Amino acid sequence: MGMSAKKSAQTQGKTTEAPGESFAKSMDDAISKVNEMQKTADQKIEDLATGKSSNLHETMIAVEKADIALRLMVQVRNKMIDAYQEVMKMQV
């Protein structure tokens, strides 16, 4: 197999995405996951309050997971804003 055939065989399975697009998709996926965690925690709280569930431990774990995920997302957002502001301060 020649060099060009090897290269084309290696790149056939790979998709070419721009770095910005993959970052945007990663952020969108992360936001969706955090949202789902919040919804799950809310549902478990509602189930506990209405008597559909009596498992306080699972409810508290879901609430804490959602809280940690949201705090992490806020910190990531803050770091992104800081980085953007630093880039905007640069003189060209």
Structural domain boundaries in the chain: 18-89
Distances (CA, A) of 77 to 14, 31, 51, 83: 30, 11, 37, 10
With beta carbons less than 8 A apart as the criterion, state whether 34 and 73 touch: yes
Q: How confident is the model at residue 91 (pLDDT cuts 50, 70, 90)?
A: confident
Q: What is the dihedral of CA 40, 45, 51, 57, to 10 degrees?
A: 90
Tell me: pLDDT of 1 over 80.
no
> For the whole model, what pTM was predicted?
0.70
Residue 56: in which H helix or E strand, if any? helix 56-89
Average pLDDT rounded to a whole number, residues 82-88: 95
Residue among 25, 5, 4 at smallest CA distance from 15:
25
Percentage of the chain modeled with pLDDT above 90: 68
Q: 20-42 pLDDT, tens per residue? A: 678 889 999 999 999 999 999 99
